Chains A and B, each alone.
Chain A
Amino acid sequence: MKDFYIEGTDNSFEVSLQKGGNLSFSGVSTPEDVKAFMDPVLNWIIKLKENPPAKIIVDMRIDYVNTVSTRYMYEILQHVNECTAKGSVVVYNWHYEKGDDDLLELGEDFELSTDLKFNFMPYA
């Protein structure tokens, strides 16, 4: 299994997935074909579940996402969380610009919908 990286664009996330357990998503996600963009990401995570690392850190620094991407992120986070069944400790970090309550709220919605515990980390 190799690390996975997709460079961000004006309408798609930068995605960095390292088999050592550092997973990050940043930027915007409104790609023309969300499925084509997200399926390889999802498949990589599903593969990770077979032999997950002891600790997984998910860093999300998201500007905005469309609803289809939101569905995929929900699914991706659920798969990541299933790594806990094999003993992994998973940490979810939601980064947002200090004072940007709306992006904080977006993170809180993700936290609520996934039933996962997020760390909310403001940056200046």
Chain B
Amino acid sequence: MSDNNVLKYQIISIRGALDLAASDLGRIMAEKPDAKPSFFVANSARLLTVLTRAELRMSDLSATVNASVIVGDDNEIRDRVALARFEVISARSGAIDLADKGPSLGDYTRYIAQAVDRATHLLHGIDLTLGVVDVYSMPDARSA
């Protein structure tokens, strides 16, 4: 697979993971506060799994961007990837102790949802149309 396709695949796969996280968060926020604790525990655990996957993929995406020359607006893509990675890291740290939040779970869930939303928005801003993002492999740069 060319670097161009690797980048696209990684971005699409992270978007997928973030969509799953958003749907888990939506389910948690829609549930009544007096729902059984097991509901929150199960959904928080699932959310954490999804966000952990997203964070690992974001780290791979950063490595791809770092080791490639992007023809076009290089800084724009780096900025978006960096900011999206920060949001995903924040969302995942938030999800780690979501299950213990008790009454403040609502605000906390909203905070994670906003981070997921911002990351999704940043990644959607990267145009994947052929020719706009053009990545050339730089094997030597990978060891940097």
Pairing of A with B:
no
